[in-house]
Structure 1
Amino acid sequence: MPARSVVTARQERLGAELRKLRERAGLTGREAAQAAGIAETKVSATEAGRVGVSAERVRHLASQYACDDAALVDALVGMATEKGRGWWEECRGWVPSGYLNLAELECHAVCLTNFECVYIPGLLQTEAHIRAIFASTVPKLSEEELEMRVRFRLRRQGLSVPYLAVIHEAALRIRAADRKVARNQLLHILDQSELSHVAVRVVPFDVDDFAGIGDPLVYAGGPVPQLDTVLVDTPHGPAFVDAEAQLRRYRAIMRKLEVAALGVVESRELIHRLVQSM
């Protein structure tokens, strides 16, 4: 297969998982290449995501690496055989690559959990709210760039996978624009929370033992737990986390968030009260 001009986060993840299998088997790149009957450069390029890999090659490598986890191998085969370009590729060059990788991650997730302490989750934002956020970007976006980013975020909202949004009360009270935009945003969250695949839970101001949880994150469930991914916002853009130890840490954080957050019904009641106070 020819080398890719652009390597996405998902393609890098497939390569990284194959590398993990090789390293657990105690094989060097050269030993793996000899066992598979391919060039060592092919192994390194595959593990870097620079070239594609066939289903047969994935299964052959997994066999050489003594991987007996059939569910994991099937999931890796699924990643290797995905066809076509995602809709987000239409926005490459206009939208930062981190956002494109986020859309790709969301598209392939089997479930999503999003925690936000300061911002309304992007999948729940109204167009007016989105526009206000991007209008305040520093440096200022051109009109064309702003419109592309607004359309991009709205397009991301077409997901139908199980989605849990855990939102701190602070995010619900912060106004991206004026009172009208803020009120309509809260009403939109209430409307979205009635969808069968969406659950919204609020962490109230008066909850105890909540120190240390402030960074926004997205936990994307994979077809098997080993392929879960966490996206963490950083000052330099989104960062993807998939190391086993880090996944355990973020699963613990998710459990803590679920304990701290109000139930679905209580959360709706709190949002209703905020709407009525405007």
Structure 2
Amino acid sequence: MNTPSLALWRIGGIMRGLREDRGYTLRQAAKILGTNKDRLDRVESAKNQRCDPGTVTGWAFKYGADEKVINDLDALAMQTLDADARGWEEVFTTTPKWFTAFLSLEAEAIAMYSYDTAYIPGLLQIRAYMEAVLAADPFRTLDEVEETIRLRLLRQDSVFSRPPGKIARMRFVLDEACLLRIRHEPWYEEQLQRLRELDALGPVEIYILPMDRGIHAGMKGAFMIMSFDGAYSPEVVYLESEYGARYIDERRAVARFREVSSITLAQVVRIEEYLSNVES
């Protein structure tokens, strides 16, 4: 998956779900819909810049989709035609395009599972942690550091200041190394307190994977799984690296990450229990 707009991605997920539920190959579906295989594939893969509402709703009707699905497709397709839509990249000019796609997905997700091996994820960081991590990056200018901090703080406010019942269900699993690496920092206790506060929020759960668990299924690296509301909205796995990000929404691939997360969760302890054991 590349980095399309959220609307295009959701349209692709709906169209692919409608086709797969009916057992059609791309070639078979294209014949039924009166189009060609490449055109249908571009819509399902969110490779277009815009999407014609009449086309996708017409295809959904031929698939026998219900009225709600058709209305959802129409609304999403209209969003792709809105030239005045203001994206994150217009507000934060140094934010890479591959990350603006993540910001849109994060804002729409109803559930997130995050596994991290080296550092505490941005949503959980205090400002001092952000400053330290970003200062260690040799490729960022001071202006980029300040803008990144401003963006992270805004993300935190956007996610955690929602009304009760509107905060996404979130599970964060941190390898113990994430905490051991910063235990001598002057702001260490402040960061721990922030983790405690967030873990106390009903929909938020923070876990630690202790080092004494030894070799485990999640050692290949960090990842995040995001889930969404609505018909045929697939889950997305987000993988980030120094050079960009990958977005994976193929069902079998996502299922593998789900399996790893299930195995890993069987070995973790809740943050409060972990800290109580460490402090005792």
TM over 0.5: yes
| Partner residue of 1:63 out of 61, 64, 70 | 61
Please tell me whether the aligned partners of residues 221 and 228 of structure 1 are also in contact (alpha carbons under 8 angstroms). Answer: yes
Shift of 1:101: 1.4
TM (norm. structure 1) is 0.78
| Partner-residue secondary structure (3-state), 2:205 | strand
| Aligned residue type for 2:185 | R
Matches within 5 A, 1:219-238: 219-223=225-229, 226-238=233-245
- Counterpart position of 1:271: 275
Shift of 1:115: 0.8
- Structure 2 gap ranges (5+): 160-166
| Aligned residue type for 1:138 | P
Distance across 2 between alignment mates of 1:44 and 1:143? 42
Please tell me whether the aligned partners of residues 228 and 235 of structure 2 are also in contact (alpha carbons under 8 angstroms). Answer: yes
Q: Does 1:48 align with 2:47?
A: yes
- Structure 1 gap ranges (5+): 1-6
- Counterpart position of 2:163: none
- Counterpart position of 2:129: 129
Q: Which moved more, 1:158-167 or 1:88-97?
A: 88-97
Q: Which moved more, 1:98-107 or 1:87-96?
A: 87-96
Distance across 1 between alignment mates of 2:242 and 2:147? 22
Relative contact order, CA 8 A, sep 6+: which one is greater? 2
Please tell me whether the aligned partners of residues 231 and 241 of structure 1 are also in contact (alpha carbons under 8 angstroms). Answer: yes
Please tell me whether the aligned partners of residues 167 and 203 of structure 1 are also in contact (alpha carbons under 8 angstroms). Answer: yes
- Counterpart position of 2:177: 170
Q: Which moved more, 1:76-85 or 1:119-128?
A: 76-85
TM (norm. structure 2) is 0.78
Closer, same or farther in 2 for the Cα pair 1:208/1:77, shift >3 Å?
farther
Please tell me whether the aligned partners of residues 33 and 43 of structure 1 are also in contact (alpha carbons under 8 angstroms). Answer: no
| Partner-residue secondary structure (3-state), 2:51 | coil
| Partner-residue secondary structure (3-state), 1:227 | coil
Please tell me whether the aligned partners of residues 8 and 77 of structure 2 are also in contact (alpha carbons under 8 angstroms). Answer: no
Distance across 2 between alignment mates of 1:138 and 1:10? 31
Post-superposition Cα deviations, 1:118-159, rounded to whole Å, max 9, x if no partner, equal: 1102110011111111111122x2221111111111111121
Q: Which moved more, 1:217-226 or 1:76-85?
A: 76-85
Closer, same or farther in 2 for the Cα pair 1:226/1:248, shift >3 Å?
farther
| Partner-residue secondary structure (3-state), 2:238 | strand
Distance across 2 between alignment mates of 1:142 and 1:234? 19
Q: Does 1:241 align with 2:248?
A: yes
Q: Which moved more, 1:66-75 or 1:219-228?
A: 66-75
| Aligned residue type for 1:58 | V
Distance across 1 between alignment mates of 2:75 and 2:134? 36
Distance across 1 between alignment mates of 2:228 and 2:250? 14
Matches within 5 A, 1:16-165: 16-17=12-13, 18=15, 21=18, 25-28=24-27, 31=30, 35=34, 46=43, 47-54=46-53, 57-64=55-62, 66=63, 68=65, 76=73, 79-82=76-79, 85=85, 88-139=88-139, 141-157=140-156, 158-159=158-159, 160-165=167-172
Q: Which moved more, 1:147-156 or 1:76-85?
A: 76-85
Closer, same or farther in 2 for the Cα pair 1:85/1:134, shift >3 Å?
farther
Distance across 1 between alignment mates of 2:217 and 2:224? 19
Distance across 2 between alignment mates of 1:172 and 1:72? 45
| Partner-residue secondary structure (3-state), 1:60 | helix
Shift of 1:170: 1.0
Distance across 2 between alignment mates of 1:42 and 1:225? 20
Q: Percent identity?
A: 20
Distance across 1 between alignment mates of 2:69 and 2:37? 24
Post-superposition Cα deviations, 1:2-34, rounded to whole Å, max 9, x if no partner, equal: xxxxx7352452354336755853454995697
Please tell me whether the aligned partners of residues 130 and 150 of structure 1 are also in contact (alpha carbons under 8 angstroms). Answer: yes
| Aligned residue type for 1:227 | P
Shift of 1:229: 0.6
